[in-house]
Amino acid sequence: SNDFLLSMASSQAHSLKALVVFKNMMYPELIRTVHVYQLEDGVEEDVEREYVFHKDSGYEETGLYRVLTLETFRLSAQSEGRVNGVWLCIYVFDADLHHPPDSDRIPTILSISRNPKLTS
C-alpha cells in the first residue's frame, strides 16, 4: 500500500476521505497532493503537500504550504486531466466513490516499484 499517501501531521484521529494528486506541467518532478481527512468530530481537514520526485533516489517532501487550497477546495470540482494554473490533476481518490481504491489508476510516479521509499 502507499502509506506515504495516507500520512499526515495531525494528532487528532482521522481517516482519509479523499486524495487528489497534481503534477507540475513546467517541472514534472514536482508533485502536489491534497489529502482530505475526516476528523472524529466530523470536520474535514485539507492538508496540502509538495514533493520532488528524483529519478534515482525516490522523493523528498518540500513543504506543507498551501497553493491549491488557499481558497475553498471542492473535491467535486477535481477531475483527472483538469488544469489549475501550472498544476495538472493526475489522480483523484474519493472514498465515497472508490472503495476500495483502484490500484490500476494510481500514477506510476507513485508506485512503490519506482519509489521504494513510499513503503516507509
Mention every residue, 6+ apart, whose C-beta is less than 8 A from residue 88: 22, 23, 24, 25, 81, 82
Query: Mean pLDDT, 10 residues at a time, over the chain (120 residues)?
Result: 42 75 94 90 88 83 82 84 93 80 70 53
pLDDT at 89: 94
pLDDT at 4: 46
Element housing 29 (H / E): none
Does this model's pTM top 0.85? My answer is no
pLDDT at 44: 87
| Structural domain boundaries, residue 65 | 3-119
pLDDT at 1: 40
Look at the chain and report how many structural domains it folds into: 1
pLDDT at 83: 93
pLDDT at 82: 93
Give dist(CA 23, CA 45) in Å, integer.
22
The region that residue 8 occupies, defined by phi over 0 for left and psi between -120 and 50 for alpha, beta otherwise, is beta
**Single-letter amino acid code for the residue at 59:** Y
